[in-house]
């Protein structure tokens, strides 16, 4: 797909008229949520090739065959899931994202009497939050969640009953926000028990540089996943902010001490340590996860403890993982593929940093390059150098875009409604940019 061109920057003349940039973004958010509602928040997901009914019917199971099918589904330019009979499902983390996006939509539109709502976002959020509770995994020490399809890792296979800290952390975040939105204290109380899951099932242990936790129950012993550890600390920060338990703050600090100690000299983090334990390097959205958690620690607990870590990370993130026009780079060495999840995480990081102008650039890049032409609120997964991955993933595309846009709009509202950096004149076509080395 050819780029549709970046939207023209908002000029002062346009700020005196309607529709304005924020109005357009609200319309896109509304359409993104509508796309998900029409499909009951179910759809294709990243890495769901193992759900192929044809693969399930194979007379024998082989992990290399599993990997081939899974990666073929993931990487083929067109959507071959119908051919392989891959079942559409709700994703646990995706449902958490949609819960929070609906809550944010309710908050934003409740404060704007000019907006005519076509649905009840509060009721949607309550329904989704209850689903998160009902579909949490049983038989563990506390609240937890995981992917709802098998995933073939190189060493092990994740199964639907295998919980992980990433899915759990976003479930906790959504349930706490549901309580804070007035949907019932029971949501946060249930989420609070996830601490027991983190400590007991994910092997929380103190080490010389702080503390470590496992990503999931079957993680290999010869490597350690840094971004999932950071998200576990982020979960503890969310619960500490709501409940105030000092133990949560102390454990979050120790986990982040270890993550900070493994920051590289250029400011980013590899996916795993040792770095050669994963095919991923310092990719964009996983580094964004880590940065956002350090931002949360700064904003909720202590602004000084990780100030140098965060400053170096943000410099690396902006200079190496994004172009000046808002295009996301895949990692520190490769521009492509340009992934929508990298964009959404960038929107979240720069929104939290108060840099609404750069968050706006990223958002406009997505709308110009990854939004399906003629279908407002529907997004493609990845842009490669010579082709587009023409598939809309419910969590990876729709869930993350709805959540990121809703957080951005709330930040604009808090900054004074329309009087934000969105009203500045940005001539992105003439920005002096140093191209990514492999652009």
* Residue, of 131 and 81, whose pLDDT is higher: 131
Q: Identify the band that residue 289 occupies on the pLDDT scale cut at 50, 70 and 90.
A: very high
Write down the pLDDT at residue 63: 83
Cβ atoms within 10 Å of 234's Cβ, excluding its own:
27
pLDDT band at 167 (very low <50, low <70, confident <90, very high): very high
pLDDT, one tens digit per residue, over 171-194 is 999 999 999 999 999 999 999 999
C-alpha 208/C-alpha 367 separation (Å) is 46
pLDDT at 380 over 50: yes
> What is residue 62's predicted lDDT score, i.e. its pLDDT?
82
Rounded Cα gap, residues 64 and 6, in angstroms:
42
User: What percent of the chain lies above the pLDDT cut of 90?
Assistant: 73
Q: Would you say residue 66 has pLDDT above 90?
A: no
Cβ-contact 4, 73 below 8 angstroms: no
Residue 432, pLDDT score: 42
Q: Assign 439 a pLDDT band (cuts: 50, 70, 90).
A: low
Tell me which of 37-41, 66-70, 249-253 is least confident: 66-70
Q: Using the predicted structure, report yes or no on whether residue 384 has a pLDDT greater than 90.
A: yes
SS (H, E, C) the chain: CCCCCCCCCCCHHHHCCCCCHHHHHHHHHHHHHHHHHHCCCCECCCCCHHHEHHHHCCCCCCHHHHHHHHHHHHHCCECCHHHHCECCECCHHHHHHHHHHHHHHHHHHHCCCCCCCCCCHHHHHHHHHHHHHHCCCCCCCCCCECCCCCEECCCCEECCCCCEHHHHHHHHHHHHHHHHCCCCHHHHHHHHCHHHHHHHHCCCEEECCEEECCCECCCCCCCEEHHHHHHHHHHHHHHHHHHCCHHHHHHHHHHHHHHHHCCCCCCCCCCEECHHHCCCCCCHHHHHHHHHHHHHHHHHCCCCCCHHHHHHHHHHHHHHHECCCCCECCCCCCCCCEEHHHHHHHHHHHHHCCCHHHHHHHHHHHHHHCECCCCCCCECCEECCCCEEECCCHHHHHHHHHHHHHHHHHHHHHCCCCCCHHHCCCCHHHCCCCCCCCC
Instruction: Tell me how far apart the alpha carbons of residues 38 and 431 are, in angstroms, rounded to a whole number.
Output: 40
Can you tell me the distance from the alpha carbon of 391 to that of 44, in angstroms, rounded to the nearest whole number?
A: 8
Residue 425 has pLDDT above 60, yes or no: no
> Per the structure block, which two tokens stand in for 201?
């099932």
Structure confidence at residue 422 (pLDDT):
56
Residue 363 has pLDDT above 80, yes or no: yes
At residue 437, the pLDDT reads 52
Q: What is the pLDDT of residue 438?
A: 54
Nearest CA among 1, 69, 81 for reference residue 42: 81
Quote the Cα angle for 238-326-262, to 5°: 50
Q: Given a cut of 90, is residue 362 above it in pLDDT?
A: yes
Q: What is the pLDDT of residues 92-113, one digit of tens each?
A: 999 999 999 999 999 999 998 8
Model's pTM, two decimal places? Answer: 0.90
Is residue 400 within 8 A of residue 339, CB to CB? The reply is no
pLDDT band with cut points at 50, 70 and 90 for residue 147: confident
% pLDDT > 70, the chain: 90
Q: What average pLDDT does the chain have? A: 90
Among left, alpha and beta (phi > 0; psi -120 to 50; other), residue 85 is left
Q: What is the pLDDT of residue 347?
A: 98
- Does the pLDDT at position 241 exceed 70? yes
**pLDDT of 255 over the 80 cut:** yes
Q: Average pLDDT of 333-341?
A: 97
- Rg over alpha carbons for the chain, rounded to the nearest Å, is 21
Distance CA(190)–CA(182), nearest Å, equals 15
Residue 4 pLDDT grade (very low, low, confident, very high; cuts 50, 70, 90): very low
Span between the terminal Cα atoms of the chain, in Å: 17
* pLDDT band at residue 19 using 50, 70 and 90 as cut-offs: very low
pLDDT, tens digit (0-9, with 9 covering 90-100), for 276-285: 999 999 999 9
pLDDT for the residue numbered 302: 98
pLDDT confidence band for 329 (50 / 70 / 90): very high
pLDDT band at 436 (very low <50, low <70, confident <90, very high): low
pLDDT of residue 77: 81
- CA dihedral for 433, 1, 375, 122, sign (positive or negative): negative
């Amino acid at each position: 797909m050819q780029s549709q061109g970046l939207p023209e920057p908002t000029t002062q003349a346009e700020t005196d008229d309607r529709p304005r940039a924020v109005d357009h973004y609200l319309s896109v958010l509304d359409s993104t949520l509508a796309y998900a509602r029409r499909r009951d928040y179910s759809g294709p997901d990243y890495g769901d090739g193992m759900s192929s009914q044809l693969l399930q019917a194979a007379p024998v199971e082989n992990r290399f065959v599993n990997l081939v099918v899974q990666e073929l589904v993931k990487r083929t330019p067109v959507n071959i899931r119908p051919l392989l009979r891959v079942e559409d499902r709700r994703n646990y983390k995706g449902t958490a994202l949609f819960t929070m996006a609906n809550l944010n939509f309710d908050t934003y539109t409740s404060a704007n009497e000019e907006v005519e709502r076509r649905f009840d976002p509060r009721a949607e959020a309550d329904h989704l939050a209850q689903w998160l509770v009902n579909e949490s995994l049983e038989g563990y020490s506390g609240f937890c969640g995981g992917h709802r399809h098998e995933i073939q890792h190189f060493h092990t296979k994740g199964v639907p009953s295998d919980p992980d800290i990433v899915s759990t952390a976003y479930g906790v975040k959504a349930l706490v926000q549901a309580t804070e939105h007035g949907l019932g204290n029971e949501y946060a109380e249930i989420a609070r028990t996830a601490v027991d899951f983190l400590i007991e099932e994910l092997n929380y242990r103190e080490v010389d540089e702080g503390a470590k936790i496992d990503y999931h129950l079957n993680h290999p012993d010869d490597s350690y996943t840094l971004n999932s550890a950071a998200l576990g600390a982020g979960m503890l920060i969310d619960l500490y902010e709501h409940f105030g338990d000092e133990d949560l703050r102390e454990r979050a600090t120790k986990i982040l001490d270890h993550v900070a100690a493994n920051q590289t000299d250029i400011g980013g983090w590899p996916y795993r340590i040792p770095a050669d334990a994963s095919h991923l390097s310092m990719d964009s959205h996983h580094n964004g996860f880590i940065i956002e958690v350090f931002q949360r620690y700064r904003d909720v607990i202590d602004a000084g403890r990780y100030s140098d870590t965060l400053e170096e990370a943000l410099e690396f993130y902006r200079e190496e993982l994004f172009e000046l026009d808002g295009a996301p780079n895949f990692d520190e060495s490769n521009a492509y593929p340009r992934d929508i999840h990298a964009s959404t995480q960038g929107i979240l990081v720069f929104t939290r940093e108060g840099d609404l102008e750069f968050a706006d650039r990223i958002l406009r890049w997505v709308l110009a390059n990854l939004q399906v032409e003629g279908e407002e609120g529907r997004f493609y997964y990845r842009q490669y150098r010579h082709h587009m991955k023409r598939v809309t993933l419910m969590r990876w595309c729709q869930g993350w875009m709805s959540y990121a846009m809703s957080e951005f709009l709330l930040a604009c509202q808090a900054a004074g409604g329309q009087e934000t950096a969105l009203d500045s004149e940005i001539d992105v076509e003439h920005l002096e940019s140093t191209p990514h080395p492999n652009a």
